[in-house]
Amino acid sequence: MTLLGGPEGRPLRVAGEEISRSELVSRAAFVAARIHGARAAAVNATATLDTVIAVVGGLMCGVPVVPVPPDSGPAERDHILGDSGAELVVGEGGFGLPAVPVGGGASTGSPEFPEPPGDATALILYTSGTTGAPKGVMISRDAIAADLDALAEAWGWTAEDTLVHGLPLFHVHGLVLGVLGALRTGSALVHTGRPTPEAYAAAGGTLYFGVPTVWSRMVESGAARELRGARLLVSGSAGLPAPVFEALEAMSGHRAVERYGMTETLITVSARHDGERRPGQVGLPLRGVETRLVAEDGSPVPHDGESPGELLVRTPTVFNGYLNRPEATAEALRDGWFHTGDIATIAPDGWHRIVGRASTDLIKSGGYRIGAGEIEAALLSHPAVRETAVIGTPHPDLGEQVTAFVVAAGAVTERELIDFVAGGLSAHKRPRAVRFVDALPRNALGKVQKKLLPQT
């Protein structure tokens, strides 16, 4: 259990069910004894204590754990199970594979398992699959340990904390940071089952994790006032709009820490608990992490805070590769640098701002390279804009035009919003079209799915 700390840590509570560290170790050992030797073990990753026990059991005996989103459809689920080579499923929902129960009780005389090698794959997490079938990301034990230790340093995270969140347990944010992080630091964990404002407000934590949608709802409901006694609020998985950042500070007294990462690299950049926090920026590289920006031709992009380029990272937290996809691994990981596919700017003082994805957020219009994130931030500062997503859509003369999709919070016209952006940004960055919609398509973590927006 070296990766996860020892049984002396504080208890965990998931969806109202509590367990001590010693009981967790014992029940996980029961699972470990029954799955030891399997090539991989799938887990129906519901927001329950059973999921935590199953994952810890796999980590104890060195069997790679494959968390399966509980809301995945049959095609996605079958792909994950087949591609991962999972030989059994821990917990309910056997999916046609042999099932190992979690509720079988505590271990009685189960063998002690030697600590697996640090480079052994601990988790196989599947990407969202926006450019094809989801890819299995193999994450090593060393990568997890290095990332959690760097985050503990950056956030001042100790065994004295009580971490609160209600995020899904099949992603890096909810599972690696939100469960394994608590286990490694020894902090208490309160997983609220669902990230509702009422549950967060009642949890009494010192450290809170959320995605922008969570923080927006905390502000809208007024529940953010109940977090004044907390030590740190952390936002991730998508950019926190500046108006939400500011409203959260006004209501809770906290300037949220933002951070950046990917499934393939874990968290690599973050603001610090004892440092500055800037709205719309994700901070500085964590300990051991190097970053750089490159243009499409691979040439360096200056760190001037304005010029966008693809963000590359070199980090001890990088993945072991995409399962069964050596070509994709070689394309993403070149000369020791992971090509994130994200567009960013880096200021002269090293602060990073994420503009968006190269595939959807870098707009090439009339010879200009325009970052969608900058325009979104400008639109969100208008009081009549609740949500927005900006993309490039085909234009016969410009190649692409800037098109904004807006969920309005009040009466506003297309022309008013176009002029508003043009008044604060360069004229070529103004939207040429504004489309009002009732809602933006989002995934389980609240990220806008821009590929689902109309492209014409």
- What are the residue ranges spanned by the domains of the chain? 190-356, 366-452
Cβ-Cβ contacts under 8 Å for 299 (sequence gap 6 or more): none
How does strand 188-191 pair with strand 162-165? parallel
259: β partners: 270
pLDDT of amino acid 94: 67
- The mean pLDDT of 31-41, rounded to a whole number, is 95
H or E segment and range at residue 417: helix 414-424
- Phi and psi for 51 in degrees, rounded to 5? -65, -45
Distance CA 441, CA 443 (A): 7
Per-residue model confidence as pLDDT tens digits over 382-441: 999 999 999 999 887 777 899 999 999 999 999 999 999 988 887 788 999 999 999 999
Joined together, the tokens standing for residue 233 give 């609020």
Residue 1 has pLDDT above 60, yes or no: no
pLDDT of amino acid 130: 47
Helices assigned H by DSSP within 239-282: 242-252
Burial pattern 279-296, b for ≥16 Cβ within 10 A else e, equals bbbbbbbbeebebebeee
In angstroms, the first-to-last Cα distance of the chain is 53
Q: pLDDT: is 447 or 282 the higher one?
A: 282
**Chain-centre distance of CA 415, in angstroms?**
35
Of 182-191, 339-348, 440-449, which gets the smallest average pLDDT?
Answer: 440-449
- Mean pLDDT for the chain overall: 91
pLDDT of amino acid 72: 80
Helices assigned H by DSSP within 283-354: 326-332
Query: Would you call 456 exposed, middle or buried from its count of C-beta atoms within 10 A (0-12, 13-18, 19+)?
Result: exposed
CATH topology of domain 366-452: GMP Synthetase; Chain A, domain 3 (3.30.300)
Distance CA 20, CA 11 (A): 4
Per-residue model confidence as pLDDT tens digits over 128-150: 654 567 899 999 999 999 999 99
How does strand 99-100 pair with strand 121-126? unpaired
Among candidates 373, 372, 370, 412, which has minimal Cα distance to 391? 372
pLDDT of amino acid 6: 63
Joined together, the tokens standing for residue 15 give 């969806």
This prediction has a pTM of: 0.83
Helices assigned H by DSSP within 351-390: 358-361, 372-380
- The mean pLDDT of 22-28, rounded to a whole number, is 93
Residue 456 has pLDDT above 80, yes or no: no
Among candidates 170, 177, 175, 180, which has minimal Cα distance to 80? 170
pLDDT category at 377 given cuts 50, 70, 90 is confident
Q: Say if CB 269 and CB 289 are below 8 A apart.
A: yes
CATH topology of domain 190-356: Rossmann fold (3.40.50)
Distance CA 416, CA 456 (A): 22
3-class secondary structure, 300: strand
DSSP letters, 155-193, are: HT--TT-EEEE---TTSIIIIIIIIIHHHHHT-EEEE-S
Residue 104 has pLDDT above 80, yes or no: no
Distance CA 45, CA 300 (A): 41
Q: In what order do the strands lie in the sheet with 41-44?
A: 99-100, 88-90, 41-44, 65-68, 121-126, 136-140, 321-322
Per-residue model confidence as pLDDT tens digits over 185-218: 999 999 999 999 999 999 999 999 998 889 999 9
